Amino acid sequence: MDRVISMSKVLDKNPTIKHAVALHISKYPHISQTTAYRDARLARKIYNSLHEFDFDFWQSWIINDIIENIKKCREGGTYNDRRVIAQEHANLLKAIGERPEEMPDPHRNEKHQFYIMVNVNNQNIKIDINNLHKLPEGTLRELNRALIGGHEIDEQGAVEIMES
C-alpha cells in the first residue's frame, strides 16, 4: 500500500505515466516494470486527486448530495431545517449554473460555406472547403505548394514568432 500511495504522489507531480513509472522504479528498484504500472493503475483508481478528476461525476455527486439534504430537511420541518433548505437551494443553483441563453446549433457549420482564399499570380481564388476532397490529386499538390511554398522560416524568424 505504501508503494501505491507513493505512486499517487508521483503522479500528482508527474502526470505522464511513463515518467511516473520510471521515477517509481528508481525509488523502489526491487519491483518490476509490470508491478510499477500496476501500482500506477491502482493509484489512479484509488487516489485520483490531481491526475484524474472527473468533473461530470463530481457535479452529479454534489447535486445528488444537495438533493438528499433537502429531502432530509423537509422531513424535519423545524426552523433550522427550513434555513438549511434555503441554503441548499442556493447551493443547488450554484452547482447547476446558469442556463445558456441559446443552445448551440450542432448543424451551424452545415449552414455556412467556408472558403480558402489563395492568391495565385495576384489573383484571388476561392476554394470551397466542402469540395476539397473532390479536387484531383495533382490540383491538391499544386494547392499545397501554393499555400506552403515560399514560407520557410529560419532560426531568427522562429525566434520572432515565439516572442510575439
Average pLDDT, the chain: 79
Beta bridge partners of 119: 124
139 and 115 co-located in one domain: yes
Q: CA 22 to CA 163: how far, in whole Å? A: 34
Nearest to 14 by CA among 29, 36, 35: 36
Q: How far is CA 120 from CA 81, 145, 149, in A?
A: 74, 11, 12
Residue 163 lies in a domain: no
24 and 7 co-located in one domain: yes
111 and 144 co-located in one domain: yes
Residue 42 lies in a domain: yes
Q: What is the mean pLDDT of residues 100-121?
A: 72
Domain count within the chain: 3
Q: What is the mean pLDDT of residues 123-138?
A: 81
7 and 42 co-located in one domain: yes
> What 8-state DSSP symbol labels residue 129?
G
CB burial string 63-97: b at 16+ within 10 A, e below: eeebeebbeebeeeeeeebeebbeebeebeeeeee
Q: Specify the pLDDT at position 54.
A: 63
The answer to whether the CB of 143 falls within 8 A of the CB of 135 is yes
40 and 67 co-located in one domain: no
Question: Which range of residues forms the domain containing residue 86?
Answer: 55-96
86 and 120 co-located in one domain: no
Q: What is the pLDDT of residues 35-87, one digit of tens each?
A: 889 888 888 777 665 545 566 777 788 888 888 988 988 888 788 888 988 99
Q: CA 11 to CA 7: how far, in whole Å? A: 6
87 and 112 co-located in one domain: no
Q: CA 148 to CA 126: how far, in whole Å? A: 17
Report the predicted TM-score, pTM, of the whole model to 2 decimal places: 0.35
112 and 79 co-located in one domain: no
83 and 66 co-located in one domain: yes
> Which residues have C-beta within 8 Å of that of residue 129, sequence separation ≥ 6?
113, 114, 115, 116
